[in-house]
Chain A
Amino acid sequence: AQSVTQPDIHITVSEGASLELRCNYSYGATPYLFWYVQSPGQGLQLLLKYFSGDTLVQGIKGFEAEFKRSQSSFNLRKPSVHWSDAAEYFCAVGGSYNTDKLIFGTGTRLQVFP
């Protein structure tokens, strides 16, 4: 079955520290992978996406993610977290040419302490 697992429900980091949010997926075909960010009461904003090519993907706001097929992972990283990065982060997978339907993980809530 197709699924996305975000093992960390809640992460707390200090401002300026590095960040890694984990994402593992199960998908029968070549996946398209996405990371979205959701601020409280807001919609989803796309941080980055992977379709093909270079497995290290750069996104907005200084985020990057690395696709590792052997580990079925697509972890999100940022070298230095800012207080404004506090939000909920969702990993999602899609991949059929028939649809853009996405399967989302349950999210990781990031808290940033000054």
Chain B
Amino acid sequence: NAGVMQNPRHLVRRRGQEARLRCSPMKGHSHVYWYRQLPEEGLKFMVYLQKENIIDESGMPKERFSAEFPKEGPSILRIQQVVRGDSAAYFCASSPTLGGDTEAFFGQGTRLTVV
């Protein structure tokens, strides 16, 4: 059973371009979480999705950021018109069920650099 797969591992974008980050959860996992790690900081929650539904987007910036988790295919975190401050590592995590004594498994992250 492959782990959480994120691609690309590294992404370089010029200011104003769009960045698309993909996350394939572990097999059988229907809950996906996106976190952002700014340099020298911990991870900050961005959004929680289930298939075709955004459950909690309280950590998402109000503009330029969007996320989806379609019925088929990976979850996508999309950043439009990137700025230097978007440079960070973006981690995806997946879990099989809600809360309780489950754990979320993390991918290796996508490191976005905006130049």
Q: A interface vs B, CB < 8 Å? A: 4, 6, 32, 34, 36, 41-46, 49, 51-52, 90, 92, 94-107
Contact = CB atoms under 8 A, between A and B. Distances in A.
A97 B105 CA distance: 17
List the 3 closest A-B pairs by CB distance, nearest first.
Answer: A97-B99, A43-B108, A104-B42
12 contacts: A4-B42, A42-B108, A49-B103, A90-B42, A94-B99, A97-B98, A97-B100, A99-B56, A99-B99, A102-B104, A104-B42, A106-B41
Contacts of B106: 36, 43-45
Scoring B55, B93, B103, B109 by chain A CB atoms within 10 A of each residue's CB, the highest score goes to B103
Contacts of A90: 42-43
Given A43-B107, A43-B109, A96 B99 contact: yes
Interface in B59-115: 91, 93, 95, 98-109, 111
A67 to B, nearest CB: 14
Nearest to A91: B42
Chain A at the B interface: mostly helix, strand, loop or mixed? loop
A76 to B, nearest CB: 15
Contacts of A94: 99
A6 B99 CA distance: 24
A99 B107 contact: no
B22 interface: no
A98 B93 CA distance: 16
A25 B102 CA distance: 20
